[in-house]
Amino acid sequence: MTSLYWPYWLAHYYSALEVATIVVAAIILISSVDDLFIDLWYWTRRIYRKFTVDRRYRPLTAEQLIARDEQPLAIMVPAWLEYDVIAPMIENMVSTLDYKNYVVFVGAYINDQRTIDEVERMRRRYKQLHRVEVPHAGPTCKADCLNWVIQAIFLYEQTHGVNFAGVVLHDSEDVLHPLELRLFNYLLPRKDMIQLPVVSLERNWYEWVAGTYMDEFAEWHGKDLVVRESMTDSVPSAGVGTCFSRRALQVLADENSNQPFNTDSLTEDYDVGARLAGYGMSSIFVRFPVKYRVLRKSWFRPQYESTLEMPLCVREFFPDTFRTAFRQKARWTLGIGLQGWEQMGWTGSLANRYLLFRDRKGVITSFVNIVAYLILAQLVALIILRASGLWNTSFPTPFEARGLVGVLLAANGVALLWRIAHRCYFTTILYGWQHGLLSIPRMVIGNFVNFMAAARAWRMFLVGKVLNRKLVWDKTMHDFPSTDLVAQAPRKLGSVLLSWQAINDERLQSALDEQHTRKMPLGRILLSHGWLDDETLAEAIAFQNDLPRVFDLAAKVQPHPALADEFCLRWRVVPLALDAQGRPEVAVASPLPEEGLQQITEQMGREPVQLIARESEILEQLRLLQAVAGQPLPTATPLLGDLLIEQGLIDRQTFNQAMLQYRPHIHGRIGDYLVDTGVLSRETIEQAVAGQQRQSSSHQPTEQPS
């Protein structure tokens, strides 16, 4: 009996699918009309400005930004479990920014020791970096971390007698442009909130999930935020690349007991933008064209370097797996679509309420899109079944009538093509035509990511309400691009020290002039004048040459049986223990020259790992090798070779060349050796030794040191 009725049951099911198709199509059409309105507004505005504003006003230039006097700025970076990216982000930021008058504040929780260690390591290098301790265990929420950072910024202003013109918000995976702070400086204090575009760094063609971020941010920040600003004269913060004026932060702090950011929201950036708009504060979404060096990832050839003109923006890597992507987007959906709805309601002008609707529709349409896919798959399967002749039972269907249903479906088809065209266009502008084509199938991937994000957001929201549970920082692990993806200029020691604010221009130039005359290393000149401490110098040399540091050198010295004292003295190296891979390690004040590395490698039997130590620590160990009558030289006594060079009696290159053949057990004291080989006169040596003795303690031996 069942076999007789199944065709009718299937026919009823097919009819139900048709009704569901009409309902879903109607919802999709409403959403499409919303998108169409934004698109038409964008193109109308763009055409209008092309023939009016763009002709009437000259565009802002980089020269105008650079000509503006630098105001003090603060950069705040909240961090929770960012130990893997915070150090390279800070290094890249300091080396990139074309600005001097700024201070960086990094907030870290007391129970996140790995992040604290990395921030402290960077703090030893960068005098403008301050670590802010969040005094309770994490994670809480990003807003809570930011509130502690803000309090530290206010305290810094009081203790240092400075008033920051603006405070810039960044995340620990952001890649900055050199002119970013200069652009903020130009617009402050006229604007209370300044938002830069945010875009994804380019991914490979096969990274489908990460590619959806490329497409979506290219369109959102290329079109949607432009329209939003022009409709309401306000713009939401993107959470990165946002600059708040000092006035704006003070208003927000006064509003809520010195807590500018809303700890009840997971999207404190969106929330703070709406609150500033409520106070009538001026905000702007800036699209200032600059040139970027980018690495293109082509289908047909290896990646290649290209120069692209695009708006000054913040670039970063977004999640590249399905799970990490929907977890991150769930936080955005929850904060903007659900918490924003609950906390802000439907307020403001008609335009603002319309944009609130647009922000929140995703909590529904994300499900509708997937339902549409499921309905389409089932309809296609049933149509194929009917075409096969296995099932031919049907009831009257609205699809057969050429009426509103046909118009509805046709309109949705046209809207889909329109949507695809826009997605391709904005993706192509930033990433080229290959990624423009890939954005079409990636729209499907994006719909499934958004569906899972909406489902997770609803679950978190409802469970939080039922259990009265406070939502915390839903951590997304970040990636920071390697140096091949970020433009890196060759590092010079002077430039490094300047960017670290360890020395000013005048002293550096004076030291460079002295270096040219005396042929001494720049670092040693700076140390001799007291313009730099040897800890900062060691950090700068390690950073300049991408070498690790070694601390507490005296406790780690382990003489290597194959490395004689003469080689330690000749190349200023101190042997250490073997590393985890069994490789010998040596401590040096600066990297070994090629010839020195070759000789040390021959003696040790394997190329050593070089670790940078402080100059004073290296000298302390070398003095033990320059013992006289069994007694080491006093700590204050400089090495004879250093003294000869510092007094201009010999240059470093000549001294090193002479030391190549020096053997302590054969030639005796260094001074005698230099005289015997005709490098220096006896009178010159005696003059240097007299200076060496004057700098030693009263217990220094009177004999000439070896």
Token reading at 129: 């970096």
Q: Of 524, 522, 528, which Cα lies nearest the Cα of 509?
A: 522
Tell me how far CA of residue 631 lies from CA of 236, 570, 627, 636, 690, in angstroms: 70, 20, 5, 14, 19
Note the pLDDT of residue 486: 45
Note the pLDDT of residue 302: 76
Q: Where are the domains of the chain?
A: 547-625, 638-706
Q: What is the mean pLDDT of each run of 10 residues along the chain (706 residues)?
A: 67 84 92 95 93 84 93 95 89 89 95 93 87 90 92 94 95 92 95 94 91 95 93 87 94 87 83 86 92 76 80 91 92 88 85 91 93 91 81 66 78 95 95 94 96 94 84 62 48 76 81 74 80 85 86 86 80 87 89 87 90 88 62 48 67 68 64 73 72 52 38
Note the pLDDT of residue 628: 40
Tell me the backbone φ, ψ of residue 76, rounded to 5 degrees.
-115, 135
Measured CA to CA, the distance from residue 450 to residue 368 in angstroms comes to 11
Note the pLDDT of residue 125: 81
Give alpha helix (H) positions in 52-112.
53-56, 62-67, 86-96
Measured CA to CA, the distance from residue 150 to residue 260 in angstroms comes to 8
Give alpha helix (H) positions in 112-263.
113-125, 142-160, 180-187, 208-219, 225-232, 246-255
Q: Of 588, 571, 581, 583, which Cα lies nearest the Cα of 608?
A: 583
How much is the pTM? 0.75
CB crowding 531-551: b at 16 or more within 10 Å, else e: bbebbbbbbbbbbbeebebbe
Note the pLDDT of residue 484: 46
Measured CA to CA, the distance from residue 165 to residue 459 in angstroms comes to 41
Q: Of 157, 201, 171, which Cα lies nearest the Cα of 75?
A: 171
Q: How many residues does the chain have?
A: 706
Cβ-contact 107, 76 below 8 angstroms: yes
Pairing of strands 283-285, 193-195: parallel
Measured CA to CA, the distance from residue 419 to residue 216 in angstroms comes to 12
The DSSP annotation for 654-695 comes to HHHHHHTT--HHHH-SHHHHHHHTTSS-HHHHHHHHHHHHHH
Measured CA to CA, the distance from residue 628 to residue 61 in angstroms comes to 66
Note the pLDDT of residue 275: 87
Cβ-contact 565, 664 below 8 angstroms: yes
Instruction: Tell me the per-residue pLDDT of 589-627, one tens digit each, with 9 for 90 and over.
Output: 889 888 889 888 988 888 999 999 988 888 888 877 754
Between vectors from CA 653 to CA 650 and to CA 656, what angle results, nearest 5°?
A: 90
DSSP state of 312: -
Task: Please report where in the chains the tokens 């919802």 appear, as a residue.
Answer: 27
Which amino acid appears at position 696 of this protein?
S
Instruction: Tell me the per-residue pLDDT of 15-58, one tens digit each, with 9 for 90 and over.
Output: 888 888 889 999 999 999 999 999 999 999 999 998 888 878 88
Cβ-contact 584, 562 below 8 angstroms: no
Helix (H, G, I), strand (E, B) or coil at 103: strand
Superfamily (CATH) of domain 547-625 = Type II secretion system, protein E, N-terminal domain (3.30.300.160)
